[in-house]
Amino acid sequence: MPGARLEGVAASEGVAVGPAFVHAPDELEPQRTGIAEGEVEAELERFRGAIEAVVAQISEARDALSESGSEEAEILDAHVEFAGDPELHSEVEERVRNLESPEAAVLAVGEEFAGLFAGMEDEYMAARADDVRDVTSQIAAQLMGLRSSGLAGLAVPSVVLARNLAPSETARMPREMVLGLVTAEGSKTSHVSIMARSMGIPAVVGVGAEALERALGAGIVAVHGDDGYVVTDPDADEVAFFEGEQAEAATERAALEAYRHVEARTHGGRRIEVAANLGSPKEAADALSWGAEGVGLFRTEFLFMERDELPTEEEQYGVYREVAEAFGEKPVIIRTIDVGGDKDLPGVSGHEEENPFLGWRGIRMSLDVPDLFRPQLRAILRAAAHGNLKVMFPMVSSVEEFVEARCLLAECREELEREGAETGPVEAGVMVETPAAALCADELAREVDFFSIGTNDLTQYALAVDRGNEKLEKLYRADHPAVLKLIEMTCRAAEKAGIQTGVCGEAAGDPALAPKLVALGVTELSMSPPAIPRAKKIISELP
């Protein structure tokens, strides 16, 4: 439709105008679903061979990336790990022994694993479902002798239109030929968005299947990655507008370079710490390169998912020590496991819940399962000897919950000292993500060492709006007066008690919201690493 405007999610900043390239791969279906009993061993060998081939392909794509520490390279590292995951192998092999074809088995198991992630409350972890589907689809395609036409054949710089893009497809596309990306599906934390930001490609995701279908016949497409919209077949005036936006964006990017490694201070000299949200220690180098002054949120869920048994204390210690050493004296806040009651963890007996995100999750689960919680606390205390670690408890709704967790932390320290293990000092704080925590902030502030406001959950709980419900998207606003009042209450209580208040939700990296948060009394903003230079610039311009 000429001149049609498609609204979506602003996934990667920048603007682009160019010819449309429609990427529409066929839906992968197994060529057969069953095998004969005498074929089992041969099919198992084929499955193992397909794993080896896919690992080699992913590794080749990863090695071809220009920056060895880049975010997209780390995503492919994770794909290699998942392709070699013993639980994936055992689940598929069990199905094959029950006479299911390996291609059907791997797609089915992949969908099961993807479902575990897709249902997670943490948006970053939920978006990992696409990565699981990507890897298992590659294995199934290898088994069926299929090769993806992919985007490698792009011969003219174009704007790519697609239902969705797998990380493997995004990594292999020729960057110089991709002016922009538009997808029907996706969120700001899906890997197509992460990789687009890392590659500096303007992207708008989540425009919807119906809207994308209307755009497929366009000759030229204009993408506004800052404001989250797309224009099909723009007229001369619209093209001129986008070209002007491109020039301004280039000037701004150059100006932001000066803010990467400066301390963020307002005109009045007020110091605001700008930190990074991380999902694994592999992301540390990239965060530091963007100027992160610490880690405001280190997610630990990746350690507990996709496995037959809980991670050992030693395994967790190694991960926490790695990120602590990477940041040195800079503070690293580790959030204890926040897996909802809809997830079955190995060795943890759950129960079916009608609304798991208002149920047995976060600190509630941890306090009920000491065998889950104590090894994590011990690992954090040990790793603190190698850096500046803090621990943060999620989903706290009462002072009693925090006091119980803090007492358990103290018990773990005493145990380690009796064992002669080296430990370090660890401040203990809470995520303020329930309205109850914000309303009890005065009482909590007298007990905790810091607050960190999780605006994503706080917003949906305060407004009774599911942030994943597209029909309610316009109602989900972190700048709603009710949400801002809860944030202000928390900041006032923290200031009175002399403790820090950070924000580690999406609002922290929002240029429009950051000034409001600072004005309310927030002392730390933690965000996606590429957003750090702009946040520092915004802070430096505040009175």
Positions annotated as catalytic residues are 191, 504
Alpha-carbon radius of gyration of the chain: 24
CB-based contacts of 251-258 (< 8 A; 24+ apart in sequence): 255/537, 256/533, 256/534, 256/537, 257/533
Q: What pairs with residue 274 in β-bridges?
A: 525
Contact 488, 458 (CB under 8 A): no
- Pair type for strands 388-393 and 427-432: parallel
Measure Cα distances from 527 to 274, 336, 450, 504 in Å: 8, 18, 18, 6
Pairwise CA distance, residues 293 & 528, whole Å = 12
Pairwise CA distance, residues 67 & 279, whole Å = 19
Tokens 């005498």 -> residue? 38
Measure Cα distances from 77 to 61, 143, 165, 431 in Å: 10, 22, 18, 30
User: Minimal CA–CA distance to 10: which of 254, 245, 180, 232?
Assistant: 180
Joined together, the tokens standing for residue 17 give 């105008």
Pairwise CA distance, residues 314 & 161, whole Å = 45
Measure Cα distances from 539 to 238, 248, 265, 512 in Å: 32, 20, 6, 12
User: Minimal CA–CA distance to 61: which of 11, 134, 9, 5?
Assistant: 134
Helix/strand/coil percentages in the chain, nearest 5: 50, 15, 35
